[in-house]
Amino acid sequence: MLNVIDRWRCCWAEATGKPQRFAKPLKRMRFLLSPWRNFCVIGCLAFTVPALAQQAATPAKPKSGIEFAGADIRAMQADDFANPGMLWVARGEKLWNVPAGRSNKSCASCHQDASSSMKTVAARYPRIDAATGKVINIETRINGCRERNQAADPLQYESEELLALTAYVAHQSRGMPVAVVADATNRPHLERGREIYYRRQGQMNLACVNCHVQNAGRRLLAETISEGHGNAYPAYRLEWQAIGSLQRRLRACYYGVRAVMPAFGSDELLDLELYLARRATGLAVETPGVRR
């Protein structure tokens, strides 16, 4: 019975990004012993019992989050004039050509036309940086170029400039299938990311898999729980009224289960981001996506 409650709490956290007032740690779930327990149990069973039979495995054919969205969100993402994320793409294009740092070089000084030089990049990242042996995403690569080639200060995570440049670079791969390769160099990080994905954590004692595999496709109020892929990020979320990185969304999930949120750019988030990209193999890059 506690497992049923777990799954209900998981779905609430996913849909709202906030802990539910009754979502206490298991040891404090005394309300189950109250006269209202039958009401609570019936309500939870009506929503979650079918999910108990599902296996915690990655679907053979992943579905993008846009497939779980309403018609209004799908239409907004498909129309470049209506998609608010395109404002950040346009700003990123301007920044691409603006000289920065003591070297007075722009991104275009080295990479020329982004539509050709940056094509496929978002489909292949995150990846292992040959120089450091660490996992890097597009944001890390941009800041590395700024420091090494432009002699400029790195941009802060979630800053308007970094979001714009990341969205612009990723946009060049829109429509291309995600194709992060698993090999000897990144396998330890993939395994670490997978371990994080399946690990229960936080006061709510939940894992990513509890929402995005075991309850994917199920309705919660007006929303449908997605499979949690990152192929649309950076994405414009209506709840943010802004574009945001995948790591911002991941940190919101940590908050939703009352877990300690890793810092932006931490090894934990990078390993998890790598695993999510591998899990999304074959899905089209959608940047900038639109989500509710």
Q: What is the mean pLDDT of residues 95-122?
A: 97
Does residue 253 carry a catalytic annotation? yes
Q: Looking at the predicted structure, is the pLDDT value of residue 81 above 50?
A: yes
Q: Is the pLDDT of residue 71 over 70?
A: yes
**Band of the pLDDT at 219, cuts 50, 70, 90?**
confident
What average pLDDT does the structure give for the chain?
85
Examine the pLDDT at 231 and tell me if it is beyond 70: yes
Range of lowest pLDDT (13-27, 67-81, 141-155, 185-199): 13-27
Residue 57 has pLDDT above 50, yes or no: no
pTM score of the predicted model: 0.81
CB atoms within 10 A of CB 276: 26
Judged against a pLDDT cut of 70, whether residue 101 lies above it is answered with yes
pLDDT at residue 45 tops 70: no
Residue 59 has pLDDT above 90, yes or no: no
